[in-house]
Structure 1
Amino acid sequence: MEHMHRYYENFVIGEVIEHKSSKTIFESDNNLFSLLTMNHHPVHTNIDYASKQQHGKILVVGTLVFSLAVGITVPDISEKAIANLLYENVIHHAPVFIGDTIYVKTTILDKRESVNKEDRGVVYVESIVYNQDGKEVLSFRRKVLIKKKEAE
């Protein structure tokens, strides 16, 4: 089933979506994100400092991994969203390094129609982010307010 541009009615509780997009994280991605978000911790920006820390190399900023994962899910989850209502349980399971490639799969946990407006509903999902070795590196849940097909 093509998941692009899914309306509220198209979400099935229990369904697992393996998102088609993936992203290799380059040094430039990490540097730019660090600058844009004012996260200047040397473990993300200083090779000498990072080499003397626990992992021995530069760590990718965790919120960059989170932001990329959300972006990867957009075509399948929130292309028809009115709003993201909630992000919760953001868990960093393992470090992400420069050169790692991230992949995401999402499970539809629940859905309910809006109490106030008939043209929308709330979809509750959990996304798992894993690297090129299949190791889980991040997970999070979110609630998305999504248009119903008949509303278009």
Structure 2
Amino acid sequence: MQPSRLGNFYDDFEVGHTIKHQLSKTIFESDNNLFSLLTMNHHPIHTNIDYAEKAQHGKILVVGTLVFSIVVGITVPDISGKAIANLDYENIVHVGPVFVGDTLYARTTVLSKRTSKSKSDRGIIYVETEAFNQDGEIVLRFRRHVLLKK
């Protein structure tokens, strides 16, 4: 048995390559409730069944920042496990709703890469991640720059 390898180095990434992440996560009611409490997001669409049933989707919506956080976590073993830093997140788009009981999956495409301008022993990759549910529907999309050791 070989030890797990957390993350990749800059030189391991190829522009145009898409990584289908192996991790996945089903969102449980307890996940959504705890996240709502921790982040002080008490909007009733996330915590009140009666309210949610009368709203657009007819059921509790998972907090969008929880969806984002979980998807970032799903990518860590492949994208940022060896990162010096995630430099930014941009174009975060909630494409579709996520409900309690949905399972999240993700894939990331390497859009570009370049050597750091200030330190030649590192480089920056620019990636786009898409998250999708158990039905293959895209629910979230975002881009980021990741600083990695060479």
Q: Which residue, 5, 8, 17 being the options, matches 1:6?
A: 8
Q: Which residue, 130, 133, 148 being the options, matches 1:131?
A: 133
Q: For 2:142, give the aligned amino acid.
A: F
The within-5 A match list for 1:1-152 is 4-148=6-150
Q: Name the SS for the 1:125 alignment partner.
A: strand
TM-score relative to the length of structure 1: 0.94
Using the TM superposition, give the Cα deviation of residue 3 of structure 1 relative to its aligned residue in structure 2, in angstroms. Answer: 7.5
Deviation per residue, 1:28-85 (Å, 9 max, x gap): 0000000111110000000011010000000000110000000000000001100110
* Cα distance in 2 between the residues matched to 1:53 and 1:23: 26
* Cα distance in 2 between the residues matched to 1:144 and 1:3: 18
- In the alignment of these two chains, the number of paired residues is 147
Q: Matched residues, percent identical? A: 68
Using the TM superposition, give the Cα deviation of residue 119 of structure 1 relative to its aligned residue in structure 2, in angstroms. Answer: 1.4
| Unaligned segments of structure 1, at least 5 residues | none
Deviation per residue, 1:124-146 (Å, 9 max, x gap): 00000000000000000000001
Q: Name the SS for the 1:117 alignment partner.
A: coil
Using the TM superposition, give the Cα deviation of residue 4 of structure 1 relative to its aligned residue in structure 2, in angstroms. Answer: 4.3
Using the TM superposition, give the Cα deviation of residue 118 of structure 1 relative to its aligned residue in structure 2, in angstroms. Answer: 1.5
Query: Which 4+ runs in 1 deviate beyond 3 A?
Result: none
Q: CA RMSD in A?
A: 1.1
Using the TM superposition, give the Cα deviation of residue 97 of structure 1 relative to its aligned residue in structure 2, in angstroms. Answer: 0.2
TM-score relative to the length of structure 2: 0.96
* Cα distance in 1 between the residues matched to 2:60 and 2:135: 18
Which sits farther off after the overlay, 4-13 or 44-53?
4-13
* Cα distance in 2 between the residues matched to 1:102 and 1:5: 20
| Unaligned segments of structure 2, at least 5 residues | none
Using the TM superposition, give the Cα deviation of residue 99 of structure 1 relative to its aligned residue in structure 2, in angstroms. Answer: 0.2
* Cα distance in 2 between the residues matched to 1:3 and 1:128: 23
* Cα distance in 2 between the residues matched to 1:121 and 1:3: 19
Q: For 1:89, give the aligned amino acid.
A: N
